[in-house]
Amino acid sequence: MTSTSDTAAPSGLGWLLDDLVGKVPAARHAVLLSVDGLVLGRDAKFTADEADHLAAASAGLASLARGAGRRFEGGAVRSTVVEFDTAYLLIADAGNRTCLAVLTGADTDLGLLAYEAELMVTRVGEHLATGAR
């Protein structure tokens, strides 16, 4: 996967992700990604290589969650949370064929994170859709 240079976030969406990271204490990074794992935007402190890696992993996890939801009649996936020893990863639906991934420290307030992510997606979600490839 290829992103833009480390000096600029792709597609001018970085400011949205910077704002989200700034509003959630312990938030480390945020990436907007297509369901096939391409970076659509990243926060300013996240390198292109790291954003690519998080986008690919998040796309895979989101796909597994969607498959489980269909198979076990759970319906559409709103979000997926992975709890690590020292971090959380929230992956949320952010529009048609688009996801938001936010990496935080283990001491984050998951309720606040989910609220701020949903607020961002609600405000600008219609502009975040990714077309079919």
What CATH number should be reported for the domain holding residue 52?
Answer: 3.30.450.30
Res 130 pLDDT > 50: yes
Domain annotation covers residue 86:
yes
Domain annotation covers residue 81:
yes
Res 11 pLDDT > 80: no
CA-CA distances (angstroms) from residue 14 to 1, 9, 93, 131? Answer: 18, 5, 18, 20
Domain annotation covers residue 132:
no
Paired with 101 in beta bridges are: 31, 91
Residue 63's domain comprises 10-126
Distance CA 89, CA 125 (A): 20
Domain annotation covers residue 2:
no
In 1-133, which ranges are continuous DSSP H helix?
14-23, 48-71, 110-124
Burial of 3 (C-beta count, 10 Å sphere; 0-12/13-18/19+)? buried
Looking at residue 63, its amino acid is S
Crossing angle, helix 110-124 and helix 14-23, to 10 degrees? 150
Domain annotation covers residue 4:
no
Question: Angle at CA 83, nearest 5°, toward 82 and 85?
Answer: 140
Question: In this predicted model, what pLDDT tens digit does every residue of 105-119 receive, in sequence order?
Answer: 999 999 999 999 999
Provide the domain count of the chain: 1
The whole-number pLDDT of residue 13 equals 82
Domain annotation covers residue 1:
no
| Tokens linked to 97 | 């064929």
SS3 108: coil
Query: Beta-carbon neighbour count of residue 114 at 10 Å?
Result: 17
Res 133 pLDDT > 60: no
